[in-house]
Chains A and B, each alone.
Chain A
Amino acid sequence: MNKPAITLSKKICMLGTFSVGKTSLVRRFVHGLFDDRYLSTIGVQIYEKQLPSIPGRRAENLKLICWDLANIEKLTPAIKNYFRGASAAIVVFDLTRPATFDVKDIHLDAFKQVNPLAGLVFAGNKIDLLPDVSSPPSELADLAGSHSAPLLFTSAKSGAGVAEMFAALGQLLLR
């Protein structure tokens, strides 16, 4: 007799500096919204999305609880608390603004200190705005490599690469 499918619930954090497109990316992926007001009030907005099943995996269903964090540039105790218990983070960069590539600004080291075993996925967002989509900044690839994180290029505007990015995250979480 087949064992019933296991659903794993995983908390993930969306990291990235101001206006890189964190919220747009997650909203593109998740259609059921909560309420935008929470983000400005307590600095976090939560989304839930069930990933498509991955047959043959230990757990066939994966439920992502995405914590979309605002004002992350200022590492407050509240932000540190919001990091707690995350299994992974999606680190979002704006491909059109190399200034957003500095992971110090988003306190990636603090996130890793709180969650040493958490996986990372790097997302180069706004690829639709690049004049040449086939040559994304190589320094971002090197940065992703140095953190052992897969790098995917996305456009929250057109939807390109968004599902693939979350699929990569799913693979990472079920590894």
Chain B
Amino acid sequence: MAQNQSEALGRLREIILCEEETRVKELRAELRRLQGRLDDTGELLQKLEPVIADTLAIKIRNSQNEMAEVLGPVMGPAIKYQIQNAKEDMVDALYPVIGSTIRKSVAEAMKELVRALNQRIDDALSKNRFLRRFQSTVSGVSETDLLLKQSLPFQIHQLLLIHKETGILLVQVSGINASSANKDLVSGMLTAIRDFAQTALTPGEGRELTQIKYEDLDIYLDDSKYSTLAIVAAGQPPPQFTESTIRCQQKIHNQFYKLLRSFSGDTSQLSSCVPILESLYRQFSLPESNAGTSASKSGKATGIIALLLLLLLFAVPMVLWLKLGETPPEPAKINHSALVLQIRDHLNSTLEFDSSNLKFIWDDDMLTLAGEGFDGQQRLELAKSVAQVASVSVIINEIATELQPRAMPENVRQQIENTVIYFPHSVTQLTDVASSKLQALVPLLAAYPKQTITIRGHSDLPGDAQANLLASRKRAEQVRTTLAQAGVELARMTIVASGADEPAASNDTEEGRGKNRRVNFKLPRTTSFE
């Protein structure tokens, strides 16, 4: 019975749902087909392309700013990617724009060059030609080069002479159009960049950064032993530029090497370098515009006379200049260690005091004498004796004598460290006795200006720890202020507040507490790094 009912229900369901089941099957097949199409990126893009293009076109038309904001961040990477992967396509696409821009720039530059050349050629029969010929004959530079130099607008804007080691600006020469940037910072940064390039780009190869390009400006860096000459210029440098720069550096080195070597920050000592730099600056600065073009008709005779005078005026200095400009002969190399042995033998046999503390510092053919523990007379005798045997061009005597700052002897140190300044209860001001004690320390501290001092303030118990700490600090500060007013440099003194943590006596008695309300001194010993 039950089985018959079940078969009947099955048939009934087939009759009722047959159509729906077929439809479901069809829909499933359709869904799979659509899924397949969605997975096929190529087909999907093909289908969406016209729609996207239209949508974007409408969006761009209606809200340009919004689109720019959205697309902006991806434009750079997109262009970079395109350049990497389809360089030729990019070049072809951009050529109509960039090509014409470059053509225009080149055309402008050529036009300017032609204009300058024409002007010079127009002047060919003027007195400038005679002058140019004269310059050509004297300097050995062809007339064509001179003409080209006058045509191309190479110009030095600024010259900075920089101390090579510190990067400190020594001297600067600049035209009226030069940048107003802080030259001290510029010289420091140039030094840092040079150092960075030397160590980061070519470590150990001894290469030097010689040129930095910045748009139409070039910064030429020329190093000598103690200084760097930085030349900010625009245009194509003429052939003699490098030679002139080296010659300028040589002149500065030859005349100022002592000052440069011992440079201690006083740039005014090097102001005499200015004329040398100005000379280089003038050599490569543009001539005054059309100067002399208003010469009178009777200028021919005047010109010839002027030319003769010029010949006389230039001939003598030129000979001198050529002589002075010659590179000095290379000095023979000195065997430093052999010479030091020789000097030591000589000193031991001629001097009656121990000279073993004497140190020798070599810098090529320059010898610096250093060392401590000699008096003034011994200092002179040492230098004299060394000079008798040392075949070097320069001896610098930097031997420290007793007049120079020296380490504090132990007995003086003990005297200061044993001094204790006491304070009455709840008082942070100095008593008369305490002031007298402090005044007694002043000459001792003044005699040893390199010695630093730690001033330690203390307080007694009982009392709030915070208040005790504050009281101890105020006492130390009071002592420091008094010493500073008496002439002890603030920079030498450090204060430490100890509160009641370091008692000198028991806090149980009034006498003990009186000993604890105090300031004492510590004199650190110098740490040697040498």
Contact = CB atoms under 8 A, between A and B. Distances in A.
Interface of A: 4, 6-11, 32, 34, 38, 42-44, 46-48, 59, 63, 65, 67, 76-78, 81-82, 84-87, 109, 112-113, 116, 121, 132, 134-135, 138, 141, 144-151, 164, 167-169, 171-172, 175
Interface in B490-517: 490-494, 496-499
8 tightest Cβ-Cβ pairs between the two chains A and B? A85-B166, A145-B524, A85-B165, A168-B491, A112-B529, A8-B265, A81-B195, A77-B199
Instruction: Give chain B's interface secondary structure class.
Output: mixed
Interface of B: 163, 165-169, 182, 184-185, 188-189, 192-193, 195-196, 198-200, 203, 264-268, 449-452, 454, 466, 469-470, 473, 489-494, 496-499, 522, 524-527, 529-530
A81 B473 CA distance: 41
Nearest to A149: B452
Contacts of A109: 529
Contact of B496 (A48, A138, A168): A138
A51 to B, nearest CB: 12
Nearest to B471: A134
Given A77-B203, A134-B469, A141-B454, A150 B494 contact: yes
B193 A169 contact: no
A42 B490 CA distance: 36
B452 A67 contact: no
Contacts of A34: 182, 185, 189
A121 to B, nearest CB: 7
A67 B192 contact: yes
A150 B166 contact: no
A65 B184 contact: yes
A78 B266 contact: no
Contacts of B524: 145-148
A116 B398 CA distance: 15
B494 A145 contact: yes
Contact of A84 (B166, B268, B496): B166
A102 B106 CA distance: 60
A56 B165 CA distance: 29
Contact of B199 (A44, A81, A135, A138): A81
B245 to A, nearest CB: 23
Contacts of B489: 171, 175
A16 to B, nearest CB: 18
B166 A6 contact: no
Contact of B196 (A7, A8, A10, A43): A43
A100 B433 CA distance: 42
A132 B189 contact: no
Contacts of A167: 490-491
B265 A10 contact: yes
A121 B469 CA distance: 25
Nearest to A78: B199
Given A48-B182, A113-B529, A145-B454, A11 B167 contact: yes
B166 A86 contact: yes
Contacts of A9: 166, 168-169, 184, 265-267
Given A43-B196, A148-B524, A38 B189 contact: yes
A39 B498 CA distance: 40
Nearest to B195: A81
B195 A78 contact: yes
Contacts of A145: 452, 454, 494, 522, 524
A64 to B, nearest CB: 10
Given A48-B184, A148-B524, A59 B266 contact: yes
B450 A148 contact: yes
B361 to A, nearest CB: 12
A60 B196 CA distance: 34
A46 B452 contact: no
B323 to A, nearest CB: 35
Given A46-B185, A112-B529, A169-B491, A141 B496 contact: yes
B166 A11 contact: yes
A116 B359 CA distance: 15
B499 A135 contact: yes
B411 to A, nearest CB: 20
Contacts of A59: 265-266
Nearest to B264: A8
A48 B185 contact: yes
B192 A82 contact: yes
11 contacts: A9-B184, A9-B267, A32-B182, A34-B185, A42-B196, A85-B163, A134-B497, A145-B452, A150-B452, A168-B491, A175-B449
Nearest to A32: B182
Nearest to A34: B185
Contacts of B265: 8-10, 59, 63, 87
B196 to A, nearest CB: 4
Nearest to B193: A42
A102 to B, nearest CB: 15
A152 to B, nearest CB: 8
Given A65-B168, A146-B527, A175-B449, A6 B494 contact: no
Nearest to B265: A8
